């Protein structure tokens, strides 16, 4: 053979393997016997994992240290994975996550909490009245959704009390999908639209107390109370003690993750410089901003953009919302 030397066997066989072709134990991937399941609930050091159709209680293996493991995570389990009463498995691995919904206690608190992994939709549940909608909270949730790589969905309840038109006008330029529900004669109307949006997806439901989130979950998951009860029976806790997220399987496929304890959505983990990019209706207006614009200063190009109507009829309110978020994010509000 002429010319340059090409690789031969001696390059490939870096370390001779005297025991033949079988890989040595230490080179094998760890825990080949592990089974993989999805975390459906977490409660004080115990994880409830759905493996096939059994609920398995598990602890975190010591080798994982303080690795966060949250609802929606796919985890590998070893040990007793029968799910029998009193059995305890060990989580030895957390699979790579496709999305991660995070929050902080407030906008300046650096300690971030991972809420849910691998969810693809954030359903923001808002009552059209009683209690009054809180647009700035909705805007905050939208930022959290975009930041997490999740699609937002507006779920507007109590349409029997107020026409949704006014509220929806605010979000028209954003192209956020929405569904509307109302209760008539004790029945939730509009569920088919909701189901269509949730079908086959993993959706996290967030919403303030009293907006009708439980009413909705109970209508979507007919045995939600029982399912939550099962989860709590597995973890050995009382039915209403769980304040963290719980994943409930939809009869038609897909999951809803209820977040009973979530009352705020601190965004300290979102870089302030990125926040304007999470307002897609305003973002194009920043081309006229001076270099390094904070978007909360006199020369900001967004005022003219909004005044010209480019961000729709609610542009003014959205800009105010952005600025409040920027100020609170930097601790200046
Ligand atoms: N008029 C009307 N009332 C509703 C509707 N949905 C729920 N409600 C009522 O609103 C109240 C609050 O509903 P819940 O489902 O408990 O609200 P929640 O968001 O789960 O509130 P928390 O349990 O505090 O977290 C209840 O009295 C419901 O009956 C609706 O579409 N229209
Ligand atoms: Zn600006």
pLDDT of residue 105: 83
Are 262 and 290 within 8 A, CB to CB?
Answer: no
* Cβ atoms of 259 and 245 closer than 8 Å: yes
Distance CA 262, CA 207 (A): 8
Residue 23 has pLDDT above 50, yes or no: no
| Minimum mean pLDDT range among 195-209, 219-233, 245-259 | 219-233
Quickly state the pLDDT bin for 197 (edges 50, 70, 90).
very high
Question: In sequence order, what are the residues at sequence separation of 6 or more whose Cβ sits closer than 8 angstroms to the Cβ of residue 28?
Answer: none
Summarize pLDDT for 281-328 with one digit per residue, the tens.
999 999 999 999 999 999 999 999 999 999 998 899 999 999 988 988
Question: Quick check: 154 and 138 in contact, CB under 8 A?
Answer: yes
164 lines ligand 1 (CB under 6 A): no
Ligand nearest to the CA of residue 322, numbered in listed order:
2
Pocket test for ligand 1, best of 156, 215, 220 (most atoms within 8 A of CB): 215
Q: Is 289 among the annotated ligand-binding positions?
A: yes
Closest CA to 176 of 185, 167, 184: 167
Q: By mean pLDDT, which of 150-164, 174-188, 256-270, 288-302 is the weakest?
A: 256-270
Q: Whose CA is nearest to atom 5 of ligand 1?
A: 158
Quick check: CB of 162 below 6 Å from ligand 1?
no
* pLDDT average, residue stretch 238-244: 53
| 294 to 1, 142, 221, 244: CA distances (angstroms) | 65, 20, 45, 35
Question: Does 25 count as an annotated binding residue?
Answer: no
For residues 174 and 195, which has the higher predicted lDDT (pLDDT)? Answer: 195
Condensed to tens digits (0 to 9), the pLDDT of residues 50-76 reads 999 999 999 999 999 999 999 999 999
| pLDDT of res. 24 | 46
Q: Which band of pLDDT confidence, cut at 50, 70 and 90, is reported for residue 229?
A: low
What average pLDDT does the segment 244-264 reach?
Answer: 88
Q: How far apart are CA 34 and CA 28, in angstroms?
A: 13
What percent of the chain is modeled with pLDDT above 70?
84
* pLDDT band, residue 227 (cuts 50/70/90): low
- Domains of the chain, by residue range, sit at 35-94, 100-258, 272-329
Ligand 1 probe mutation, 129, 130, 162, 210, most atoms within 8 A of CB = 210
The CATH fold assigned to 100-258 is: Rossmann fold (3.40.50)
Nearest CA to ligand 1 atom 9: 212
Which of these, 49, 32, 31, 53, lies nearest to 40 by C-alpha position? Answer: 49
Count other C-beta atoms under 10 Å from residue 273's C-beta: 11
Q: Which CATH architecture has domain 35-94?
A: Beta Barrel (2.40)
| Distance from residue 145's CA to the centre of ligand 2 (Å) | 23
Residue 300 annotated as binding site = yes
Q: How many CB atoms lie within 10 A of CB 111?
A: 9
> In terms of pLDDT, which residue wins out, 254 or 231?
254
Tell me if 45 is assigned to a ligand binding site: no
Scored b (16 or more CB within 10 A) or e, 282-316 reads: bbebbeebeeeebbbeeebebbebbeeeebbebbe
Q: Whose CA is nearest to atom 30 of ligand 1?
A: 158
pLDDT tens figures, 68-116: 999 999 999 999 999 999 999 999 999 999 999 998 888 888 888 889 9
Give distance in angstroms: CA of 281 to centre of ligand 1: 31
Show Cβ contacts of residue 286 under 8 Å, excluding neighbours closer than 6 positions.
Answer: 276, 293, 295, 301, 302
Residue 5: pLDDT above 70?
no
Q: Is the dihedral of CA 8, 11, 14, 16 positive or negative?
A: positive
Looking only at the bridges linking them, the beta strands covering 178-180 and 202-207 are: unpaired
Report whether residue 213 contacts ligand 1, using a CB cutoff of 6 Å.
Answer: yes
- Write down the pLDDT at residue 333: 44
**180 φ, ψ (degrees, to nearest 5):** -125, 135
Whether the per-residue pLDDT at 18 is higher than 70: the answer is no
pLDDT in tens, 119-145: 999 999 999 999 999 988 899 999 999
Per the model's pLDDT, the better-predicted residue between 6 and 98 turns out to be 98
Mean per-residue pLDDT over the chain, rounded: 86
pLDDT-derived band of residue 239, with 50, 70 and 90 as boundaries?
A: very low
Q: Is 43 labelled a binding residue?
A: no
Whether residue 259 has its Cβ less than 6 Å from ligand 1:
no
Cβ of residue 294 lying under 6 Å from some atom of ligand 1: no
- Is the shortest distance between the CB of 215 and ligand 1 below 6 Å? yes
184 in ligand 1 pocket by Cβ < 6 Å?
A: no
Q: How far is the CA of 198 from the centre of ligand 1 (A)?
A: 20
Q: Confirm or deny that 119 is annotated as ligand binding.
A: no
Q: What mean pLDDT do residues 169-191 have?
A: 91
**Residue that is written with structure tokens 């399987």 in the block:** 249
Q: Is the pLDDT of residue 39 over 60?
A: yes
Dist CA 175 CA 141 (whole Å): 15
> What ipTM does this complex have?
0.97
């Amino acid at each position: 053979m002429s010319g340059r030397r090409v690789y031969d066997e001696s390059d490939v066989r870096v370390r001779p393997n005297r025991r033949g072709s079988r890989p040595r134990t230490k080179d094998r991937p760890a825990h080949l016997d592990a089974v993989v399941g999805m975390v459906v609930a977490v409660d004080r050091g115990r994880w409830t994992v759905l493996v096939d159709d059994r609920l398995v209680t598990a602890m975190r293996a010591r080798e994982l240290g303080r690795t966060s493991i949250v609802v929606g995570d796919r985890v590998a389990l070893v040990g007793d994975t029968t799910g029998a009463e009193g059995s305890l498995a060990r989580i030895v691995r957390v699979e790579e996550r496709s999305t991660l919904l995070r929050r902080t206690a407030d906008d300046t608190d650096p300690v971030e909490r991972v809420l849910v992994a691998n969810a693809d939709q954030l359903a923001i549940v808002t009552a059209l009245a009683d209690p009054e909608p809180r647009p700035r909270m909705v805007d905050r949730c939208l930022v959290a959704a975009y930041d997490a790589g999740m699609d937002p969905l507006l779920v507007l309840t109590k349409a029997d009390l107020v026409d949704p038109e006014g509220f929806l006008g605010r979000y028209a330029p954003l192209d956020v999908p929405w569904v509307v529900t109302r209760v008539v004669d004790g029945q939730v109307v509009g569920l088919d639209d909701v189901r269509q949006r949730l079908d086959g997806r993993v959706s996290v439901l967030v919403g303030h107390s009293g907006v009708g989130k439980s009413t909705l979950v109970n209508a979507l998951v007919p045995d939600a109370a029982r399912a939550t009860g099962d989860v709590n029976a597995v973890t050995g806790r009382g039915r209403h003690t769980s304040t963290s997220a719980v994943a409930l399987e939809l009869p038609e496929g897909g999951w809803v993750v209820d977040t009973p304890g979530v009352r705020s959505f601190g965004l300290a983990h979102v870089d302030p410089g990125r926040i304007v990019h999470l307002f897609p209706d305003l973002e194009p207006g920043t081309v006229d901003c001076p270099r390094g614009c904070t978007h909360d200063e006199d020369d900001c190009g967004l005022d003219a953009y909004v005044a010209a109507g480019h961000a729709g009829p609610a542009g003014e309110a959205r800009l105010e919302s952005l600025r409040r978020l920027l100020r609170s994010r930097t601790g200046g509000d």
